[in-house]
Amino acid sequence: MRFDVITLFPDLVQSVAESGVVGRAAKADLIDLYCWNPRDYTTDVHRTVDGRPYGGGPGMVMKPECLVDAIRDIRAINASKSIATKVIYLSPQGKTLNQSAIKKMSTEQGLIFLCGRYEGVDERVLEMEVDEEWSLGDYVLSGGELGAMVLIDSITRLLPDVLGHKDSAEQDSFSDGLLDCPHYTRPEVYAGKEIPDVLKSGNHQRIAKWRRQQALGRTQQRRPELVENRILDAEDKQLLQDFLENIKEN
Ligand code: 9D3
């Protein structure tokens, strides 16, 4: 997978590939990450990337020419390597990202992430060049870079050969649409708090059942909309009912 990021803060975006899963994937050439600075596509002496909004108002808007020139340069490079490419704009106006959107993106060959700063990007860039617009959620960031980094991280870990079998993306609780069960490690007693007996039972079927029940119960309690939008089989229904009845008792 090839990522090209158009950003006024290339060092910030590159730092996503310096450690962890993305770092290893980059080192193993499972991903390529390139950053492009719109400032390098300006033609005036001041290297101006922003302008005042038509119609007035506060803030500045990113000028279209340098952004479109950067996108077309990247498109030409990718076309010469037969890399099919989608352009994604990170913005508060986009649809909210979720795991199914990430999964779809992970099947692309090349992704161009356009990161806005200031009030955003001249609308004509979006009309001419952008395929999809995505948001991280309903809160205010100062630009799209963190969005691009989130996408690079969450897409990369879905790529073949990036994660080991042990913690494969398939095993993830969230790819099942539920929140995770609680996790414990040694010591057995910490701050006077013991771990649940079932986890010491050695009975792997009981443990799996307990974990499933915890996942269902916690999802119902914390994110009820995730449970309402799915059909539970008879066993899940029973596990959830038992979980909720135990809560009342305690
Ligand atoms: C306070 C400025 N706002 C005026 C109504 C609008 C605004 C403009 C530009 C708010 C944020 C931004 C910059 N944000 C992003 O580029 C961004 C973002 C976000 O702010 N929230 C969630 N996801 C994303 S993805 C890119």
Is 158 within 8 Å of 102 (Cβ atoms)?
A: yes
* DSSP-derived secondary structure for 191-220: TTEEPPGGGGS--HHHHHHHHHHHHHHHHH
Active site residue 138: no
What average pLDDT does the structure give for the chain? 96
What angle separates helix 204-222 from helix 234-249, to the nearest 10 degrees?
Answer: 70
- Which residues is 5 bridged to in the sheet? 35, 113
How many whole angstroms separate alpha carbon 130 and alpha carbon 71? 9
Residue whose CB lies within 8 A of the most ligand 1 atoms, among 119, 140, 142, 154, for a mutation test: 140
pLDDT value for 248: 80
Contacts of 198 (CB under 8 A, 6+ apart): 206, 207, 210
- pLDDT at 47 exceeding the cut of 70: yes
157 CA to middle of ligand 1, Å? 26
Domains observed in the chain? 2-156 (3.40.1280.10), 173-249 (1.10.1270.20)
Contact present, 16 and 153 (Cβ < 8 Å): yes
- Kindly name the residue from 65, 92, 108, 153 that is annotated as catalytic: 92
Question: In the predicted model, is pLDDT for residue 203 greater than 60?
Answer: yes
Q: Give the whole-angstrom CA distance, residue 227 versus residue 224.
A: 5
Identify the weakest region by mean pLDDT among 67-81, 156-170, 187-201: 156-170
Q: CA 103 to CA 106: how far, in whole Å?
A: 5
Q: How far apart are CA 246 and CA 135, in angstroms?
A: 38
- Output the pLDDT for position 168: 75
Query: Pocket residues for ligand 1 (CB within 6 Å)?
Result: 90-92, 116, 119-120, 135-137, 139-144, 147
Closest CA to 111 of 156, 141, 66: 156
Q: Each residue of 115-130: pLDDT tens digit?
A: 999 999 999 999 999 9
pLDDT of 167 above 90: no
Give the number of the atom of ligand 1 that is nearest the alpha carbon of residue 116. 16
Residues 6+ apart with CB under 8 A from 179: 173, 215, 218, 219, 222, 223, 226
Contact 156, 142 (CB under 8 A): no
Cα 102 from Cα 99, distance rounded (Å): 5
**What is the best residue among 141, 151, 152 to mutate for testing ligand 1's pocket, by most ligand atoms within 8 Å of CB?**
141
What is the tens place of the pLDDT at every residue in 65-109?
Answer: 999 999 999 999 999 999 999 999 999 999 999 999 999 999 999
pTM, two decimal places: 0.96
- Asked if the model's pLDDT at residue 166 lies above 80, the reply is no
Q: How far is the CA of 158 from the centre of ligand 1 (A)?
A: 27
Q: What distance in Å separates the CA atoms of residue 115 and residue 217, rounded to the nearest whole number?
A: 38
The verdict on whether 119 is a catalytic residue reads yes
Measure 139 CA to ligand 1 centroid, in angstroms. Answer: 8
Token pair for 89: 């704009």
